[in-house]
Amino acid sequence: MKKSQSIPWYLKQSGKELAEKFQFIQIQEDERLRDATIKTIDSRWSLGVSVLERNDSRNRYVNIMPYERNRVKLDVIKGNDYINASYVKINVPGQSISPGYYIATQGPTKKTWGQFWQMCYHSCSHENIVIVMVTPLKEHGRAKCFPYWPTGEDNENSSDHVRVSPKEQYPGGQSDLSCFEDELEVICEDSRRIEDYYTLTTHKIKPRNPSTGPAKMVHHFYFDQWKDMSKPEEIVPIMKLCEHSHRLNSPGNPIIVHCSAGVGRSGTFITLDHLIHDTADFKLSLGTISTEGSRVPIEHYNHDLIEQIVLQLRSQRLKMVQMIDQYMFIYHAAKYLYDISENSKSE
């Protein structure tokens, strides 16, 4: 893949051009939903069991569901395997150095947090699991996510060091069973604030019975500075979050990403993460994403790389990169990375 000496052409587009592309992405999604409505279970875009009444209590929102073909299925030995989560793979021809693997999911609720931990353990076969949470717990008095992880905090009346995900769970009542092989203990080992950008909490997660499987480490990143239906307020904190979380994940494990619905902010983070770590146009010859280094785009690459990533995301989960401001922010962040490269060359 031959390199040129300028910034990628797609980072020079006008706001009007980007708005037109975002509208095209939305039109394509609308057509998929029409196909799913007309053909129901026979459609490639079927929402399958996610829309069944029995799963209402497992969905945070009534309009955000996973496609049936790539939904995450809970590793149950009996009962309901549904969780509102999607396997996501990004692999852009001519650009992706290696595919990016993620799980995009809604923020756990009071009824589903136990299934969330079971999903994390069983979907990640290697030792280090990364969870990236890009939503505050509450906004304007409304719950956006249940506080599902042990924070390690102590107060006069209680301590929060261990949570247990039960073997038998009934999120929708006694008729809605998910039965797992074993219960899981989630134990807080450390928690610290990183540059006042985000909180990193390290957990050990292990089955109650050691013969069920090995203990694993969970690196939980809580980024609470990103409001719903909006773009991040600053570029640098989200870039540092991308770099730090990506570094701690074991190769072969999907990075688990959630906001509240698991689409807008989650999709924006996933796009940035794959863009800066796994694409030829953003591969650094030196340094890290937040330090000095050289980036040079591929010659004769005629597609819009960011548009290609978002198109792939939208084909795997509804409303990924939901708002036009989020879409444009990705271009601004990408341009910022090239500006850093140019500045480091001139110094």
Angle CA(84)–CA(88)–CA(91) in degrees, nearest 5? 170
**Phi-psi bin for 220: left (phi > 0), alpha (psi -120 to 50), beta?**
beta
259 classed as catalytic:
yes
The position carrying tokens 């304007």 is 140
DSSP 8-state code for residue 279: B
DSSP 8-state code for residue 227: -
What is d(CA 15, CA 161) in angstroms, rounded to the nearest whole number?
48
For residue 101, give the H/E element and its range.
Answer: strand 100-105
Distance set, CA 274 to CA 98, 269, 315, 317 (Å):
9, 9, 16, 16
Q: Are 130 and 248 in contact (CB under 8 A)?
A: yes
Q: Which of 120, 145, 242, 259 is catalytic?
A: 259
Q: What are phi and psi of 307, to 5 degrees?
A: -60, -40
What is d(CA 250, CA 262) in angstroms, rounded to the nearest whole number?
22
Q: Which residue spans within 128-207 are E strands per DSSP? A: 128-133, 138-139, 142-143, 162-165, 168-169, 178-180, 184-194, 198-207
Q: What are phi and psi of 305, to 5 degrees?
A: -60, -45
Q: What are phi and psi of 49, to 5 degrees?
A: -75, -15
Tokens for 22? 């975002």
What is d(CA 305, CA 95) in angstroms, rounded to the nearest whole number?
8
A 10 A CB-CB count for 6 gives 12
Q: Which residues are catalytic?
A: 259
